[in-house]
Every structure is written in C-alpha cells, then in structure tokens.
Amino acid sequence: METKNLAVFCGSSTGTDSIYIENAEKLGEELANRNRILIYGGAQVGCMGALADTSLRNGGSVVGVIPKKLKDVEIAHEQLTELHVVETMHERKSKMAELADGFVALPGGAGTLEEWFEVFTWSQLGYHAKPCGLLNVNGFFNPLIAMLDHTIEQGFMNKNYREMILVASDPKELLEKMDSYSPSYTAKWT
C-alpha cells in the first residue's frame, strides 16, 4: 500500500558531511514527485529544514508539528502547507503518529533516534502496523543495526522484529520498500 503520508525524523543539525543534507534533499524531492505528504517536526534548521524546503520547492505538501517551547529554538518553518503548534513533545509525537502511514529516520541525533524507536517499539507491541524504515546514508545506521543484531543474539529481541525494519541507502529504494511492506509478524504480547 502506498505510504501517502510519510513521517520523517531527522537531525536538527546538518552533520559533518554534506552527504546528509544531500540525501535529505533527495528524499524531499522524491516525496514531492510522488505526491506524498511529508509529516515532520516543523523546524527550519539542519537536515529537517533542508528536507522540508526541497519538498516545498518541488511542489510537495509539508505538514510540521512543533511544540510551543521549540518554536523559537528550532525556528518553526513559516512556509509549510500546515503547521501544528502543540504543547508538549508527547503531543508532537502522537500527532505525527496519527497523521502518518509510515515512519522513516534519516541520520540525526538523540531526538531522531528517540522518535524512531518509539514508533518502532509501538509496531512490536501491535499498536500500529505501519512500516518503519531507516535511510542508511553513508552507513550511518550500521552501528545501530549491529546493536539490534547483538540484542537478538543475546536473547532480548525476537528476530522477527528486526526483519520489520526496512533499510536502504537510497531514498527511492526506501520508499519502494515502504510501499510494498506488509506486516507479517505477531505482536509481542499477543
């Protein structure tokens, strides 16, 4: 099923290598070309800003969700199709989860990882059946994937959940994997 509304978590920083911004832009352009709606954290800064700008520049629709407190720090994007200003981080995440049909993380910091892990663990628990992907630019997520494999080896995670994670280094390939995802797992506690 087509992932019409895609939530993207990514860094509020640019990273040290220009490859991170370039791939955020590639994804933004690809989303616009495919008429997909980008749901993201609503900021103007770092990879988040580059992603939104490129999608908008190519005629895409972009919905931002930002908490009041961060409106000035992360500089809320003024040109979005829609901007939701919410009270808390929890509201930000639940609004994004409600609006999205799928979730992707691009390279980013603790905020990005936290947001992505939350939705991934929700899928393990069967709270949703939406695809969760990682855009593995520059092998950025290799250490994280190795950690998850270690977690499985040590008996803390079922390997079925690892197989639910869609990984690709190219935005187009990742979107194709997201579109053809069909949840074939058993939720953790059922």
3-state SS of 63-96 is EEEEECCHHHHCCECCCCCEEEEECCHHHHHHHH
Q: Is residue 110 a contact residue for ligand AMP (CB under 6 A)?
A: yes
Q: Is residue 44 a contact residue for ligand AMP (CB under 6 A)?
A: no
Q: What dihedral do alpha carbons 161, 121, 36, 72 form, nearest 10°? A: -150
Q: Which is nearer to ligand AMP, 11 or 28 (CB)?
A: 11
What are phi and psi for residue 69, nearest 5 degrees? Answer: -60, -30
Q: Which is nearer to ligand AMP, 77 or 92 (CB)?
A: 92
**Of residues 75, 83, 85, 89, which one binds ligand AMP by CB under 6 A?**
89
CA 110 to chain centroid: 13
**Of residues 28, 64, 102, 108, which one binds ligand AMP by CB under 6 A?**
108
Q: List contacts with ligand AMP (CB under 6 A).
A: 11-13, 41, 43, 70, 74, 89, 92-93, 108-112, 114-115
